[in-house]
Amino acid sequence: MTTAQKSLVGGWTAYHALTPEDQKVFDEAMRGFVGVKYSPKMVSTQIVNGTNYRFKCDASMPPSDVIWEAIVEVYCPIEGVPHVVSITRI
């Protein structure tokens, strides 16, 4: 973990490139999601009773070529399955 990725409990990190673990959390939270395709580009994390994630994504709805940005917020509990909390178009 780089200095930029470390944070105090409750504080958000700066956006940074996804680690393989971040990608795994995103994939688990989005499993079964249909419709809009979200491709994470950057992530910010917050340590709470588990971890909150803010994934900055490119979004599209195939077969359209239109792409927009969105923030996909995911909560990953200490024990349990990560899940989507909200999705906000930006």
Residues 14-31: pLDDT tens digits?
Answer: 999 999 999 999 999 999
CA neighbor of 17 nearest in space, from 41, 38, 45: 41
Q: Which has more pLDDT, 84 or 6? A: 84
**Which candidate, 78, 15, 81, 22, places its Cα nearest to that of 48?**
78
Contact 33, 59 (CB under 8 A): no
Q: How does pLDDT run across 49-62, given as a tens digit for each residue?
A: 999 999 999 999 98
> pTM here?
0.87
pLDDT of residue 8: 62
